[in-house]
């Protein structure tokens, strides 16, 4: 029996990932475009926030902000009809409006609340968001291709992420750098199916999503980052490109040419690695395949991971007394995970092959 997912309390953030069955490379331009449109419709309807995302050829990553569902205002008729318009066609909206009109005409408040409740219970829930996103995309794809059966490899993976600037910026950069690691673009802004490129292209939802990260920064308080892309853009871009930095290495077989980035290390790299005791700096590890950011269970400061561990103590054996596990093979600057992964932590550098992570 599968364990239930680890969930946050109040306003929470999740890094979620799902892959195509058999990891087939079937998501072309049209499919990725439709996926993003559908994602945005569900985001608006359910009242979540996609902080950033990337849709690759056989998988996707999202960083999703789930609101504090206990603090959500009660949904009324007008709000429901507006939300329905984001996701459903006009015929569906009109049908619900007519049903609400009949309930109001009879003065039947219970009936009216039952109608609203059918949709209200779905609001602000990341699990509902992921279920509907995958199902709706599968239905569209299967109709288009004349196929049947499952499209996705398994249920989606999720990582609970602490809602502070360092953790959110780290995960956001990891997601936006996927096309660079896969060799699908030379610059992040050139890959249109990711959050940063969409924000650069002027998409308001993408800009607001990235702006929400900087709301948590104690160093830049006072700015309205969610609404002011001019304030958000230079900070996030510098962070993103700093994290994605990699040097082009000399080709040992041809002194006049060079290899693709990441295929080797210069003597200076080796010397620096020795001085660090084999621990990579954070700006380099984001270019590697990282199980920590997918299978770590919970990601953030030691205090945050410990607090989640305490709330879910029954999941773990009696021998385990602490929750936070420091991550190995890199300088993670104090960030921790809940699950102590031991095998295949980093993987090989993707080079120009698209890997799912």
pLDDT digits (tens, 9 = 90+) for 310-345: 999 888 888 889 999 888 756 678 889 998 876 555
Torsion angle, alpha carbons of 83, 89, 92, 95, to 10: 90
What's phi and psi for 15, nearest 5 deg?
A: -95, 115
Mean pLDDT of 192-212: 89
- pLDDT value, residue 355: 27
- pLDDT value, residue 295: 82
Question: Which of 124, 13, 33, 111 has the alpha carbon at shortest distance from 79?
Answer: 124
- pLDDT value, residue 67: 94
What's phi and psi for 340, nearest 5 deg?
A: -85, 90
The long-range contacts involving 35-40, CB below 8 angstroms and separated by at least 24 positions, are 35/60, 35/137, 35/193, 36/193, 36/198, 38/133, 38/136, 38/137, 38/140, 39/133, 40/205
Percent of the residues in the chain that have a pLDDT greater than 90, as a whole number: 51
Q: What pLDDT band is residue 265 in, cutting at 50, 70 and 90?
A: very low
157-182 CB burial, b ≥16 within 10 A, e <16: bbbbbbbbbbbbbbbbbbbbbbbbbb
Higher pLDDT, 288 or 165: 165
Query: Do residues 110 and 124 touch, judged by C-beta distance below 8 A?
Result: no
Share in percent of the chain as helix, strand, coil (round to 5)? 45, 15, 40
Where do we find the tokens 């104690």? Answer: 218
- How far, in Å, CA of 146 to CA of 345, rounded? 39
- How far, in Å, CA of 54 to CA of 295, rounded? 18
What confidence tens digit (pLDDT) does each residue in 73-122 have? 999 999 999 999 999 999 999 999 999 999 999 999 999 999 999 999 99
Higher pLDDT, 244 or 162: 162
Mean pLDDT of 53-70: 95
What end-to-end distance do the CA atoms of the chain give, in Å?
26
- pLDDT value, residue 136: 97
Query: Do residues 59 and 354 touch, judged by C-beta distance below 8 A?
Result: no
User: What 3-state DSSP class applies to 28?
Assistant: coil
Mean pLDDT of 237-250: 65
What confidence tens digit (pLDDT) does each residue in 140-173 have? 999 999 998 899 998 899 999 999 888 999 999 9
- How far, in Å, CA of 244 to CA of 7, rounded? 30
- pLDDT value, residue 257: 44
Give domain limits for the chain: 20-30+53-64+160-337, 73-122
For residue 316, the surrounding DSSP H or E stretch is none
Q: What pLDDT band is residue 249 in, cutting at 50, 70 and 90?
A: very low
What confidence tens digit (pLDDT) does each residue in 208-228 have? 999 988 876 665 555 677 778
Beta strand residue intervals within the chain, DSSP E? 12-19, 49-55, 59-66, 157-161, 250-251, 254-258, 280-281, 298-301, 325-326, 330-331, 335-337
């Amino acid at each position: 029996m599968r364990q239930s997912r680890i969930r946050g309390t109040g306003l929470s953030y999740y890094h979620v990932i799902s892959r195509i069955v058999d990891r087939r490379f079937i998501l072309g331009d049209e499919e990725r475009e439709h996926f993003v449109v559908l994602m945005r419709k569900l985001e608006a309807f359910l009242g979540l926030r996609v902080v950033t995302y990337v849709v690759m050829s056989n998988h996707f990553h999202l960083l999703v902000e789930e609101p504090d569902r206990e603090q959500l205002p009660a949904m009324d008729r007008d709000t429901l009809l507006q939300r329905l318009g984001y996701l459903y066609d006009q015929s569906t909206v009109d049908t619900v409006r007519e049903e609400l009109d009949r309930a109001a005409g009879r003065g039947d408040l219970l009936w009216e609340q039952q109608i609203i409740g059918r949709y209200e219970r779905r609001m602000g829930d990341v699990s509902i968001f992921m279920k509907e996103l995958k199902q709706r995309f599968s239905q569209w794809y299967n109709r288009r291709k004349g196929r049947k059966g499952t499209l996705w490899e398994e249920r989606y993976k999720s990582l609970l992420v602490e809602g502070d600037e360092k953790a959110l910026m780290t995960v956001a950069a990891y997601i936006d750098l996927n096309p660079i690691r896969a060799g699908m673009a030379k610059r992040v802004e050139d890959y249109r199916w990711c959050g940063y490129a969409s924000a650069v292209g002027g998409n308001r939802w993408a800009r607001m999503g990235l702006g929400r990260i900087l709301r948590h920064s104690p160093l830049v308080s006072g700015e309205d980052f969610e609404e002011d892309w001019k304030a958000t853009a230079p900070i996030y871009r510098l962070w993103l490109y700093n994290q994605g930095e990699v040097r082009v290495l000399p080709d040992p077989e041809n002194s006049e040419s060079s290899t693709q980035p990441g295929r080797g290390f210069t003597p200076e790299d080796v010397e620096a690695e020795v001085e660090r005791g084999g621990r990579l700096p954070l700006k380099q590890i984001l270019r590697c395949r990282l199980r920590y950011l997918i299978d770590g269970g919970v990601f953030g400061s030691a205090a945050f991971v410990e607090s989640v561990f305490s709330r879910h103590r029954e999941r773990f054996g009696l021998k385990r007394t602490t929750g936070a596990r420091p991550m190995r093979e890199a300088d993670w600057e104090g960030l921790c995970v809940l699950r102590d992964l031991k095998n295949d932590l980093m993987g090989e550098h993707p080079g120009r092959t698209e890997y799912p992570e």
